[in-house]
Chains A and B, each alone.
Chain A
Amino acid sequence: MVAIASWLPTELTQMSHQVDRLFYIMLGIIAFFFVLVEVLLITFLVRYRRSRLNAVGANVHGNNKLELLWTLVPAVVLVFMGVSCVKYVYAMQTPPAKPEVIQVTGHMWAWESQYPNGLKTRDDLRVPAGENVLFKITSTDVVHGFYIPAVRIQQDALPGRQTEFWMKADAADVGKVFDVPCDQYCGLQHSLMDAKMTVMTPADYERWKQSELAKQQQSSGQ
């Protein structure tokens, strides 16, 4: 029996906890207005249906106070939503000092990652838990979308340009593996372009980088 994915996936980072909280606040406000409109709609349709006793509608052309009310209330609510988003945008945009920089390059159809020690992997992304990681993202061919649903962030990978975002995985998720799909349409095998991201302890991560690099040098030296 396969699980049915119906809602937000794991929150891997502190930022994703915060962004999800923002989502639930906005969803709550929206749900309130959604229910309001649907209830009014159905109530009016049923309550004011045409009958012998209710043969014609009232001669009402409008009401300026009501117009003012339903212009200003949505405006205030929407501006409130916009303003409460701004600080998250800057928090997501500003990378912390001295992060571990991983170069991510999109190819048709795989994600290549290059680590600070020169190690390169294909579709196998590893990050240390509890440490700041900065992805510097580009592409060698067409536009791809570097997307980590568990982190709630994506940036397009463009040829000739570099985009970036940062993350810090929670220590609680060590050992877990997450999907890193491409979500910007990139041709034939777009839907198969999916790297796996493993969260490791910092020590394991360092060891893995060294041993993997040694392995690669050995095999290329032969």
Chain B
Amino acid sequence: MEAVLPVRASSKSWIRDWVLTVDHKKIGIMYGVTSIFFFLVSGLFALLVRTDLLVPSGLFSMQTYNEFFTMHATIMIFSVIIPLLTGAFGNYLVPLMIGARDMAFPRMNALSYWLYLASGIVLILSMFFGMPDAGWTAYPPYSIQSTGPGIDLWVMAIHIAGLSSILGAINFVVTIHKMRAPGMTYNRMPLFVWSMLVTAYMQIFGTPALAGAVTTLLADRHFGTVFYDATAGGDPMLYQHLFWFYSHPAVYIMILPAFGIISEVLPVFARKPIFGYHAIAYSSVAIGFLGFFVWAHHMFVAGMAMSAGIPFMISSLIIAVPTSVKIFNWLATLWRGAVEYTVPMMYASLGFIGSFIIGGFSGVIVAAVPLDMHLHDTYFVVAHIHYVLFGGSVMTIMAGLHYWFPKVTGRMFNERLGHVSFWFYFIGTQVTFFPMHLLGLAGMPRRYATYAPEFQFWNDVATIGSYILGIGTLIIVFNLFYSAKYGKKVGNNPWRARTLEWTVSSPPPAHNFSKLPVVTQNPYQAYTVEELEGTVG
């Protein structure tokens, strides 16, 4: 039976249109705009951190520096990368890609957005009540001793973000399992949907551990409990176990959807089916599963026996296998392709693959217990995580923002400016983060407000790189927001992409599909010369 959709006159009320909306596309856009705002805030903190490190004695006070790096990481992880990838891309794309009219629980979807916004506001507020200075990891006992309500608000922000995350994840799991269009079997789902399914399960399974960690932290701070008080029989290491049981999988929560975006962008602009659909889909599942068995590789030097690190070293090395399977399949997708150098393709190919593999390889080095004994808590780790989260996640977010921009707005961004921003990003990433490997090898510890003079040269290089990234970011944000209003209008499918969201108008109608699509194959099929006529390239 064909469902009859109520036709609603477009409302002039801004509140009805946005604040009360339960439309997954509008919620996705709100997630996107909000997290881009937080990206600018958190990026500003990063630039201040780098500016402080221009001189060995530090330009700001040490307290200020400690607060800045704490805020940079917390906002970037909880208010930018996770919500951008799952909240913005996931929300906007998953129902469209599986041929559904909305998420399974639209009101709960709106609730997750508003909780996310509340969490970000609480986090920003914490800056004005004694800014948190315990690092984003907030290890006790320091985080318990640190005074002022800043850290309490920080804990509250994490709680609210976690709740938002779990609600969102439940929504994705139910939507993907139950709302797929006729004929959309699991093995016909777009690879982005596969990656979102695995990500959602990881969020549901991992986030409660984080909630447990920060709740007990709060109890130790205010209610006289002794979970982490060694003098009373507590144990600070317990916090680290709970924290990393969430926070290592969180790295995969921040990279799996990115892998999904790459798997969508590469075949479209290589004008070729994706190579190894099943291998890419199932390797995401493998990463999601193995991701819960590696957490203690953050704790090789934290007080466990060195040999207790061996199983975690092995599991961390094994998780590199499904990751390299993906890399080789992406390379094989380019092989014998007809590659178009569009802006999203530049970010996805040279930008993402070219940078992310450095983070993957440095991950193999720090996973090795004997080498981690030297490199742990040095700038080598800072280099590693930024090649994964910036060279990997953020680079891909930029690929995705440019790729789906014409779908969301019905307009095209300025391509010339897009290419300029790409080169700022690509060069800036290498100049900022590569020197950090060298600093780490030389033994410079992380989270240092001041440092020895022999570390100045590479610190200054990194700081210059961060300014290049700052300029690149401003260009991207200007380009996207300006073009959303003034960009050239384009048709429904300017890229000639194959996933279902490109079969509807740009922007898509309120309920996506007036008639549910019937799916007969996966979206990665060969191109013909005729259908590509008139495209760029």
Q: Which residues of chain A have a CB within 8 Å of any CB of chain B? A: 2-9, 19, 22-23, 26-27, 30, 33-34, 37-38, 40-42, 44-45, 48-51, 54-63, 66-67, 70-71, 74-75, 78-79, 81-82, 85-86, 88-90, 92-93, 141-143, 145, 147, 149-150, 152-156, 158-161, 163, 179, 181-192
Assess the A57–B338 pair: CB atoms within 8 A.
Answer: yes
- Shortest 8 CB-CB distances between A and B: which pairs? A160-B230, A57-B272, A149-B443, A183-B445, A59-B526, A5-B442, A191-B448, A88-B370
CB-defined interface of B226-243 with A at 8 Å, one 1/0 digit per residue? Answer: 000011001111000000
Task: Say which residue of B335, B441, B450 sits within 8 Å of A44 (CB atoms).
Answer: B335
- Given contacts A33-B361, A55-B532, A92 and B373 within 8 Å (CB-CB): yes
Chain A residue at minimum C-beta to C-beta distance from B269: A50
Q: Check if B518 is an interface residue, CB within 8 A of chain A.
A: no
B450: chain A residues at CB < 8 Å are 191-192
Q: Check if B534 is an interface residue, CB within 8 A of chain A.
A: no
Assess the A67–B336 pair: CB atoms within 8 A.
Answer: no
Distance from A46 Cβ to chain B, minimum over Cβ atoms (Å)? 9
Chain A residue at minimum C-beta to C-beta distance from B324: A74
Assess the A58–B445 pair: CB atoms within 8 A.
Answer: no
Taken together as a complex, chains A and B put the C-alpha atoms of A55 and B530 apart, in Å, by 10
Q: Check if B105 is an interface residue, CB within 8 A of chain A.
A: no
A50: chain B residues at CB < 8 Å are 271, 338-340, 537
Taken together as a complex, chains A and B put the C-alpha atoms of A78 and B367 apart, in Å, by 11
Assess the A45–B361 pair: CB atoms within 8 A.
Answer: no
Assess the A59–B271 pair: CB atoms within 8 A.
Answer: no
Distance from A43 Cβ to chain B, minimum over Cβ atoms (Å)? 9
Task: Say which residue of B58, B230, B278, B377 sits within 8 Å of A145 (CB atoms).
Answer: B377
Task: Say which residue of A23, A27, A161 sits within 8 Å of B230 (CB atoms).
Answer: A161
Assess the B349–A45 pair: CB atoms within 8 A.
Answer: yes
CB-defined interface of B301-342 with A at 8 Å, one 1/0 digit per residue? Answer: 111011101100110011011001101110110111111110
Q: Check if B6 is an interface residue, CB within 8 A of chain A.
A: no
From B33-41, B93-101, B135-143, B506-514, give the one contacting chain A: B135-143
- Given contacts A26-B371, A61-B524, A45 and B377 within 8 Å (CB-CB): no
User: Chain B: interface residue count, which band?
Assistant: 35 or more
CB-defined interface of B52-73 with A at 8 Å, one 1/0 digit per residue? Answer: 0000001000110010000000
Taken together as a complex, chains A and B put the C-alpha atoms of A103 and B195 apart, in Å, by 50
Distance from A181 Cβ to chain B, minimum over Cβ atoms (Å)? 5
- Given contacts A44-B334, A160-B231, A187 and B364 within 8 Å (CB-CB): no
Assess the A19–B524 pair: CB atoms within 8 A.
Answer: no
B452: chain A residues at CB < 8 Å are 5, 179
Given contacts A62-B276, A81-B317, 15 further A-B contacts (CB under 8 A): A2-B456, A5-B444, A19-B370, A26-B368, A48-B334, A57-B336, A60-B275, A60-B336, A66-B328, A67-B329, A70-B325, A85-B371, A142-B142, A143-B139, A161-B230
Assess the A185–B447 pair: CB atoms within 8 A.
Answer: yes
Chain A residue at minimum C-beta to C-beta distance from B331: A40
Secondary structure of the A contact surface, majority rule? mixed
Assess the A79–B317 pair: CB atoms within 8 A.
Answer: yes
Assess the A49–B341 pair: CB atoms within 8 A.
Answer: yes
Q: Check if B181 is an interface residue, CB within 8 A of chain A.
A: no
- Given contacts A56-B526, A143-B142, A23 and B442 within 8 Å (CB-CB): no
Distance from A122 Cβ to chain B, minimum over Cβ atoms (Å)? 20
Taken together as a complex, chains A and B put the C-alpha atoms of A22 and B532 apart, in Å, by 51
Assess the A23–B365 pair: CB atoms within 8 A.
Answer: yes
Task: Say which residue of A34, A48, A152, A190 sits within 8 Å of B339 (CB atoms).
Answer: A48
Distance from B471 Cβ to chain A, minimum over Cβ atoms (Å)? 25
Assess the A82–B142 pair: CB atoms within 8 A.
Answer: no
Residue in A78, A79, A88 whose Cβ sees the most chain B Cβ within 10 Å:
A78
Q: Check if B287 is an interface residue, CB within 8 A of chain A.
A: no
- Given contacts A2-B456, A57-B527, A161 and B303 within 8 Å (CB-CB): yes
Taken together as a complex, chains A and B put the C-alpha atoms of A155 and B369 apart, in Å, by 12
Q: Check if B248 is an interface residue, CB within 8 A of chain A.
A: no
Taken together as a complex, chains A and B put the C-alpha atoms of A93 and B300 apart, in Å, by 12
Task: Say which residue of B278, B313, B449 sits within 8 Å of A85 (CB atoms).
Answer: B313
Distance from A26 Cβ to chain B, minimum over Cβ atoms (Å)? 6
Q: Check if B224 is an interface residue, CB within 8 A of chain A.
A: no
Task: Say which residue of A19, A40, A141, A187 sits within 8 Å of B373 (CB atoms).
Answer: A19
Taken together as a complex, chains A and B put the C-alpha atoms of A6 and B119 apart, in Å, by 40
B301: chain A residues at CB < 8 Å are 145, 154-156
A23: chain B residues at CB < 8 Å are 365, 371
Q: Check if B451 is an interface residue, CB within 8 A of chain A.
A: yes
Taken together as a complex, chains A and B put the C-alpha atoms of A4 and B438 apart, in Å, by 10
Assess the B442–A185 pair: CB atoms within 8 A.
Answer: no
